Amino acid sequence: MKFKLLAASFVAAMTMSAASQALVITPEDDGTTLANTILGSGITISNVDYTGAAGASGTFTGGNASGLSIDKGIVLSSGSAELAQGSNDQSGATANNGMPGYAPLTDISGFPTFDATVLKFDFEFDGGVGGDLFFNFVFGSEEYLEWVGSQFNDVFGFYVDGVNVALTPGSSDPITINTINASQNSSLFVDNTSGAHNTQMDGFTTTLQIVLTGLSAGLHTMEFAIADAGDDALDSWIFIQADSFSDTPVGVPEPSPFLLLGLGLLGLGLIRRKQAQ
């Protein structure tokens, strides 16, 4: 009898282990819950506003086991959040949500956008002072690799005070499937065509870190937005690390800090130009 119980426990443990070795996504469309999940130290948020189709966003765990190098956090998509779960058994997983696009993302993509999901809030540094802003993310898409270079240029933007700070490291290019892929900025790209990683995404970026230094005291606006481009099919996702939206860097990821610092400086330069206008 005792042996049987042990055996049953062993099977249960094995099952739990298998389940934990993959990305697990729980749908969530409450903007405050989403925002609080990524909120880290030194920052207070308010005025949360979320727009998205049912099931377009969620929280996630098990990212590391699926090759994301971000283990938990939130996911926003241009289709179904849960579809990013593995395995990679389709080349074009899709949810057509019938949602409108988003003009700022259309500007970035260069093509009409559809199925936009937008999370926005105000933030300020604690203590009534200025500070630095950091957060970590991964972008992935079913548009990889077939539709790279086409009008299906799925896109996202991270707008701080109205300026997109999600730029391809070392450049002023936005991050889209046309700017980070197997042939451009390939050191920042993970090709999952083979299904080696337990996620439906055909390709995704390495973990990238946003670095914005020297933000002023007082209220700032933050906006995370993602959309399909060209048509409403073939989902894309952004994964933002839990507790990483902070005044101090969390878990400094690859690639090298040098590239990431360049990203931050470019973003700051854009903000300065905007404020000077």
DSSP state of 245: B
117 vs 254: CA distance, rounded Å: 27
Which of 80/246 has CB closer to Ca ion?
A: 80
Where on the chain is the footprint of Ca ion (CB under 5 A)? Answer: 78-79, 88, 90, 115, 154, 200, 202, 228, 232, 234
Closest contact distance (angstroms) between CB of 264 and Ca ion is: 28
Which of 28/228 has CB closer to Ca ion?
A: 228
79 vs 168: CA distance, rounded Å: 23
C-beta neighbour count of 274 within 10 angstroms:
11
- Say how far residue 69 (Cα) sits from the centre of its chain: 12
C-beta neighbour count of 36 within 10 angstroms:
16
Which of 145/240 has CB closer to Ca ion?
A: 145
For residue 71, give both structure tokens: 């283990």
Which of 119/222 has CB closer to Ca ion?
A: 119
Closest contact distance (angstroms) between CB of 141 and Ca ion is: 7
Which of 190/212 has CB closer to Ca ion?
A: 190
Beta partners for 12? none
178 vs 148: CA distance, rounded Å: 5
Beta partners for 39? 245
Closest contact distance (angstroms) between CB of 193 and Ca ion is: 8
Element of type H or E holding 225? strand 220-229
Closest contact distance (angstroms) between CB of 96 and Ca ion is: 5
Which of 97/136 has CB closer to Ca ion?
A: 97
Closest contact distance (angstroms) between CB of 94 and Ca ion is: 6
Which of 88/109 has CB closer to Ca ion?
A: 88
Question: Which value, in Å, is the radius of gyration of the alpha carbons in the chain?
Answer: 19
Are the C-beta atoms of residues 34 and 121 closer than 8 Å to each other? no
- Say how far residue 96 (Cα) sits from the centre of its chain: 19
Closest contact distance (angstroms) between CB of 127 and Ca ion is: 41
Closest contact distance (angstroms) between CB of 202 and Ca ion is: 4
